[in-house]
């Protein structure tokens, strides 16, 4: 499989490492020194986007317009996601966005949905979300925290913290005067995100339409 990497930071380099170990080729790398317009996408099977909020929309549109499927994990640009989905359908190619590609996080999402339903009739519990990430993470709150928030059927605040050497921690808490209920996910490193994005790229290469990690994991 010939892969285009859109973004070549820590995540991009880790995806490259895993892809090469699995026998794939990294044929195009796009970053600030190598603009997307200067690249040759002729033999590309799929693109994996971990760029920046300011560049993601342009990059994804550029690649989809060539009929190449895109897997994107960049957050902070989702006000334009419906335009991207429309373009993918128009070009009859595949697009998959995930705020988090970790298998564990996507299972955590399902726990969050279930707990939210169980708590619907218990207004005595105040719900909250806390997310902790490394200081290099640009978007606040994280895309994963926003996904968790959207799954909860009540108004809920998100507390964000940035500190060194934290790959990503998310905590959903329900607190009452009597007790507290918490579920959490802690990433030990970026490996789960990189592995999940490559699984998504392998899966979508022959697909047409717009998808999520739930489609890959066959959830619901």
Work out whether the CA dihedral 103, 129, 171, 138 comes out positive or negative. Answer: positive
Cα separation of the two ends of the chain: 29
> For residues 181 and 205, what is the distance between their CA atoms, to the nearest angstrom?
41
* Alpha-carbon dihedral 109, 110, 112, 113, rounded to 10 degrees: 120
- Give the strand pairing for 126-133 and 94-97: unpaired
24 is catalytic: no
134 is catalytic: no
φ, ψ of residue 86 to 5 degrees: the values are -65, -40
> For residues 18 and 14, what is the distance between their CA atoms, to the nearest angstrom?
6
- Given 130, 133, 170, 185, the catalytic residue: 133
- Given 137, 188, 208, 218, the catalytic residue: 137
102 class by beta-carbon count within 10 Å (0-12 exposed, 13-18 middle, 19+ buried): buried
**Which residues belong to the active site?**
133, 137
């Amino acid at each position: 499989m010939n892969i285009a990497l859109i973004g070549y930071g820590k995540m991009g380099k880790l995806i490259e490492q895993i892809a090469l170990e699995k026998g794939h080729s990294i044929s195009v790398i796009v970053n600030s020194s190598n603009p997307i317009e200067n690249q040759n996408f002729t033999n590309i099977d799929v693109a994996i986007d971990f760029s920046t909020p300011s560049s993601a929309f342009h990059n994804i549109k550029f690649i989809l317009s060539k009929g190449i499927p895109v897997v994107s994990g960049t957050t902070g640009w989702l006000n334009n996601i419906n335009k991207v989905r429309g373009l993918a359908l128009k070009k009859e190619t595949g697009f998959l966005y995930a705020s988090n590609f970790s298998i564990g996080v996507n299972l955590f999402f399902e726990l969050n949905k279930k707990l939210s339903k169980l708590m619907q009739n218990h207004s005595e519990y105040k719900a909250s979300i806390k997310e902790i990430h490394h200081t290099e993470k640009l978007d606040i709150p994280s895309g994963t925290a926003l996904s968790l928030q959207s799954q909860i059927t009540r108004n809920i605040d998100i507390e964000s913290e940035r500190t060194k050497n934290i790959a990503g921690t998310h905590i959903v808490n329900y607190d009452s005067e009597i007790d507290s209920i918490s579920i959490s996910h802690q990433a030990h490193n970026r490996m789960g995100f990189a592995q999940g994005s490559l699984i998504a790229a392998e899966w979508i290469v022959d697909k047409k339409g717009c998808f999520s990690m739930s489609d890959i994991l066959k959830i619901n």
